[in-house]
Amino acid sequence: MLVIMVDLLDNNTPITSQIEKICKKYFGVDLLIENIILDDAPTSKNSITTVFKTNHDTIYALCTADDPLVLADVKNIVKSMGMKADVYLPPNADQDYFLRFGHKMFQDVFPNRKTRTNQETSFYQTLAPYSPALVRIAKVDGEIRQYSKIGEKWYSALEFSYQRMQVQ
């Protein structure tokens, strides 16, 4: 994990416990990690992503970076890794975080507009600071990719398939 979480890292603690602490502290979710699928995969020049499976057979991706990330960056990372997101978990379990940020940014850009819709603010929502980022994954089609800093392109890190089942 990168600098942002140094206070939670401990070389004597298993990586699964460290990730569980990060998920609890930054996202307010209690996850019990069953296994790490891909650990610290490079996903840009200064970000890494760890993909893991919980005891409920749900796949998550935890993305961290030395530089600030925004929601748009994380969406691009997840897509480039060959995964489809189910939910981008907001910081501190604040379900209105992205929406509120988008509305505020829209208001800053268009101060005279008194009304706005979620559709009008959707672009501005993607500019919300989002590091670390926790993403529940809906689907992986055959492989998970990682970024090569040397070649500046994506390549297959491992073969893996996953489809999240929706319980009704």
pLDDT in tens, the chain (168 residues): 444 444 445 566 688 899 999 999 999 999 999 999 999 999 998 999 999 999 999 999 999 999 999 999 999 999 999 999 999 999 999 999 999 999 999 999 999 987 778 888 899 999 999 999 999 999 999 999 999 988 889 999 999 999 987 766
Asked if residue 45 belongs to a domain, the reply is: yes
Asked if residue 99 belongs to a domain, the reply is: no
Asked if residue 9 belongs to a domain, the reply is: yes
Asked if residue 26 belongs to a domain, the reply is: yes
pLDDT of residue 116: 78
Contacts of 91 (CB under 8 A, 6+ apart): 26, 27, 97, 130
Asked if residue 114 belongs to a domain, the reply is: no
At residue 105, φ and ψ (nearest 5 deg) are -65, -40
pLDDT of residue 3: 41
Domain total for the chain? 1
Token duo for residue 11? 């070389």
Residue 104 contacts residue 62 (beta carbons within 8 Å): no
Contacts of 148 (CB under 8 A, 6+ apart): 42, 154, 155
Q: Which residue in this structure is represented by tokens 């070389």?
A: 11
Asked if residue 50 belongs to a domain, the reply is: yes
Residue 130 contacts residue 71 (beta carbons within 8 Å): yes
Asked if residue 121 belongs to a domain, the reply is: no
Residue 142 contacts residue 83 (beta carbons within 8 Å): no
Asked if residue 70 belongs to a domain, the reply is: yes
DSSP 3-state of 69? coil
Q: Please give the residue range of the domain that contains residue 21.
A: 3-90+129-161
Q: Which residue in this structure is represented by tokens 């268009």?
A: 110
Beta-carbon count within 10 A of 75 CB: 16
